Structure 1
Amino acid sequence: MSDPAAQPARRARIAVSAGFAGQGFAYATVLTSLEGFKDRYGIDDGQVTLVVLGVCLMAAVGTVVADRVARTAGGSRVVLGAGLLTVATAVVVAAVAPVFAVLALGFAVYGIGLGMVDAGTNMQAVAIQREYGRSLLTGFYASWSVGGIAGAVFVAATVGRTPTDPVAVALLAGTLVAVLAAVGVLRAGWRVTIPVRADGVATPDEALAVPGSGGGKGVVPWGAVLLLGLGVVAFYVADTAISTWSTIYLGDVLLAAASFAPLGYAAYLTTTLASRLAGDPLVRRWGRVVVLRTGALVGAAGLVLVVLAPGPWAGLAGFAVAGAGLGVIAPLCFSAAGDLAPGHADAVVARLNVFNYVGAVLGGVLVGAIGSTSSLQYGFVVPIVLIVVVAVLAGRFGVTRRTGTPVTAGAGA
């Protein structure tokens, strides 16, 4: 990538990395402020669970919007830029909401933006990885982790130390970061050339075809997509459980101080970052299956430590160990998706991204529901089971060998 023709790809890689980081920062400021929202509006864990469910449902809508926008001349670059601006707008609403009903509306808009950004970042990342011709996805996700760490630490630093509402201060900072990332993506994001009709609508994508009675076969191997979807669901069950409930778990269950509780999420994101920085070289050296299985086993071990933790520091250590393993699962699933239907990666990614919110509902809502009826300690058992299933089935997720020869998901190791 040293010739002048490679400059657009290099600039796009930087811009999309900034998009991942901006999303991570805004997301972390929102989720680590949930305890503050409980205090501000006098709500309980059950109402927080309903808000998380609403965000997940609206995010699925955002993914559908992303799929449609990606088929226009603007492509996934506009999907990501518009999604970041939607997130910024929603976070402003949440920051200044005078009553809980307005907050719920802000979170609904946030969900749409979240779905667009999640799909847009993966669409852009897969396209850039294809242009470079080597594994880059875990590196992009590392940028998300950097943003998330900064957001979580920012919230921890502002709790009890600002003259105004600390939740509003944190969220408005997230808005600024999201807007700056959106500007960078819209200016330098990867421009994918797709066939577009005179009316501005992309030509029909045969990747969306479902085999019919006439024996025709769609481009997308749906069995492989469903298998990758299992990995995405398992990761997001664990990730959403940690991102949504770690602060509350450390504070309410393990009785950590208010300034300590957000550090559980920060510790998780720190080790997630480390695993993602190492992920691409490890995949090139050992292959996707080995990295995926090892990550799943380490992640499950960390969650077991969380469940058994006798106090805040042990809980913090458990979240850190979990991040060290879980961080590679989602990017490797989306990386594999980019190989399933060359030329139609956006369509595959959009559909795989829906599994994100299936996992988010289970992780944020099911874990919260269990916590509301018994204890969050038992809620964290749910992601342990699913992550172990991924470890068992890792051999069917396919591998990209050092030679660069892709073997599609669903193939043996």
Structure 2
Amino acid sequence: MLPTRARAATAAAFATQGLVFISLTTRLPDFADRWDLSEVALSGLLLVLVLVAGVGSVIAEKVAARRDSATLLRTGLLVMAVALPTLVLAGTQAVFVAGIVGYGFALGLVDAATNMQGVAVEHRYGRPLLPSLHGCWTLGGLVGAGITLATATLPLGATAALAVVPVTAAAAPYLPRVHTPPDPDVVLEAAAVPWRPIVLVGAAMVVFYMVDSASAAWGPLYLEDVVAAPERLVALATFPYLLASLVVRLAGDRLVATYGAVPVLRVGAVVAALALAVVVAAPTWPVAVVGFTLLGAGVAVIAPLSFSAAARIAGGDQARVDAVVARFNQFNYVGGLLGSVLTGLAGAGSLRVGFAVPMVLVLALVPLARTFAAGSGPVASPAGRAGPGTRRS
């Protein structure tokens, strides 16, 4: 029997993650104004967020040997529900930073656990599903950006009400681990996990998160400071980006099943590079919005295909796959460092320079795409067989 309830629950978890994350990043100009943060100081806070999220993902890897991803996911969502109002309603900078740290830790747990659930559900269905599941993250992000646009005139503290969303998601019926996990000391034996191809797939995910984080963290400030968009419209750096990404991700299951991962990724890389060129050269804010929109379409399926490929390459039982997915999730934060932090530092004088960096680096996806040739379908079963309906590129 297909786990339809677990698939819906996993989709809701992805949507919750996207909604909260984008609700916060589209409020970055408000946080910067409230605490009088320069671009360098804001880069420092983003660095803290990324590093703590990495810690959360490492802990998820260690816990995966003993607890299933459903437990990890619920824990992360509840921590998020506490951290969100803490950082939004903080009365002092110390409390604000504590909220950032708490949210970063939750981010790492939820990032890892949602993808563990996604890989497990995809395996049970035996066909590509991660693109559309990541599309639910994007849908949540769209709702978050829409909420920011609709509540731009309300106090920043109103965002704290969103804490009810992760609390609700924590009660969803996630997919439990069917098999008893093996001895945790042998889950990640070096000889058993083929890390070299996984690292190459991870390099592609670094590029994606570099571009995605740069857009999410600095796009609103780019519109406001560089191309003089009205303050109430700065979320347009994020909203059309997410809308285009949503359309491509929802179509991504069928695109990958029909054409394979390699051509889909290569076309997307070229589109993304052209889109960033439009952003960098934009003379006005509407032109920059067009660039961000094309960018969302270009990079949409990189992350879901990366997780699917890494899990399939890893193989083995679900406990080992979960641990590999959690470790693989670290590439997310390497990309986050490059996108959120280095884009801000390189663009300290002008964010046009900051966005020129991912414009060049995104073309690395063209040669890296061939690594996905054997990993574009769902994760293999413990016996090494692909599930029914799997298409090998």
Deviation track 1:104-151 (CA, whole Å, cap 9, x = no partner) reads 111011111000010001000000000000000001001000000110
CA distance in 1, matches of 2:201, 2:280: 27
Deviation track 1:154-178 (CA, whole Å, cap 9, x = no partner) reads 1111112x3xx2x2112x2331212
CA distance in 1, matches of 2:210, 2:377: 28
User: Measured at CA, do residues 192 and 49 of structure 1 come closer, stay the same or move farther in structure 2, by a change above 3 Å?
Assistant: same
Which position in structure 2 is the counterpart of 1:65? 59
Which position in structure 2 is the counterpart of 1:369? 345
Which position in structure 2 is the counterpart of 1:231? 204
Which position in structure 2 is the counterpart of 1:80? 73
Counterpart of 1:247, as a letter, is P
Deviation track 1:33-83 (CA, whole Å, cap 9, x = no partner) reads 1100111112211111111000000001000111122222x4001111111
Deviation track 1:92-114 (CA, whole Å, cap 9, x = no partner) reads 10111012221111101111100
Q: How does 1:154-165 map to 2 (within 5 A)?
A: 154-160=147-153, 162=154, 165=155
The answer to whether the aligner puts 1:290 opposite 2:278 as a matched pair is: no
Deviation track 1:287-319 (CA, whole Å, cap 9, x = no partner) reads 111111111111121111111111110010000
Pick 1 or 2: higher relative contact order, CA cutoff 8 A, min separation 6: 2
The answer to whether the aligner puts 1:132 opposite 2:125 as a matched pair is: yes
What TM-score do you get using the length of structure 1 for normalisation? Answer: 0.89
The answer to whether the aligner puts 1:189 opposite 2:183 as a matched pair is: no
The answer to whether the aligner puts 1:333 opposite 2:306 as a matched pair is: yes
Given that residues 69 and 78 in structure 1 are in contact (C-alpha distance below 8 angstroms), is that contact kept between their aligned partners in structure 2?
no
CA distance in 2, matches of 1:51, 1:19: 25
Counterpart of 1:93, as a letter, is T
Which position in structure 1 is the counterpart of 2:382? none
Q: Deviation at 1:183?
A: 1.7
- Which consecutive unaligned segments of at least 5 residues does structure 1 have? 197-201, 211-217, 408-412
Given that residues 138 and 280 in structure 1 are in contact (C-alpha distance below 8 angstroms), is that contact kept between their aligned partners in structure 2?
yes
Counterpart of 1:30, as a letter, is L
- RMSD between superposed Cα atoms in Å: 1.6
Q: Deviation at 1:205?
A: 5.6
Q: Deviation at 1:404?
A: 4.8
Given that residues 126 and 390 in structure 2 are in contact (C-alpha distance below 8 angstroms), is that contact kept between their aligned partners in structure 1?
no
The answer to whether the aligner puts 1:105 opposite 2:98 as a matched pair is: yes
Which position in structure 2 is the counterpart of 1:214? none
Given that residues 62 and 323 in structure 2 are in contact (C-alpha distance below 8 angstroms), is that contact kept between their aligned partners in structure 1?
no
The answer to whether the aligner puts 1:10 opposite 2:4 as a matched pair is: yes
**Count of paired positions:** 380
CA distance in 2, matches of 1:117, 1:232: 17
Q: Deviation at 1:195?
A: 2.5
CA distance in 2, matches of 1:29, 1:405: 36
CA distance in 2, matches of 1:398, 1:173: 44
CA distance in 2, matches of 1:347, 1:226: 15
Given that residues 60 and 115 in structure 1 are in contact (C-alpha distance below 8 angstroms), is that contact kept between their aligned partners in structure 2?
yes
The answer to whether the aligner puts 1:251 opposite 2:224 as a matched pair is: yes
Which position in structure 1 is the counterpart of 2:373? 398
339-348 or 77-86: bigger deviation: 339-348
CA distance in 2, matches of 1:110, 1:396: 33
Given that residues 239 and 363 in structure 1 are in contact (C-alpha distance below 8 angstroms), is that contact kept between their aligned partners in structure 2?
yes
- Which consecutive unaligned segments of at least 5 residues does structure 2 have? 379-387
Question: Match for 2:29 among 32, 35, 38?
Answer: 35
Q: Deviation at 1:86?
A: 1.1
Name the SS for the 1:339 alignment partner: helix
What TM-score do you get using the length of structure 2 for normalisation? Answer: 0.93
Question: Match for 1:389 among 359, 364, 372?
Answer: 364
Q: Deviation at 1:235?
A: 0.3
Given that residues 85 and 161 in structure 2 are in contact (C-alpha distance below 8 angstroms), is that contact kept between their aligned partners in structure 1?
no
CA distance in 2, matches of 1:99, 1:193: 46
Which position in structure 2 is the counterpart of 1:213? none
Given that residues 292 and 332 in structure 1 are in contact (C-alpha distance below 8 angstroms), is that contact kept between their aligned partners in structure 2?
no
Kindly, what percent of the aligned residue pairs are identical? Answer: 41
Counterpart of 1:266, as a letter, is F
Which position in structure 1 is the counterpart of 2:385? none
CA distance in 2, matches of 1:97, 1:224: 44
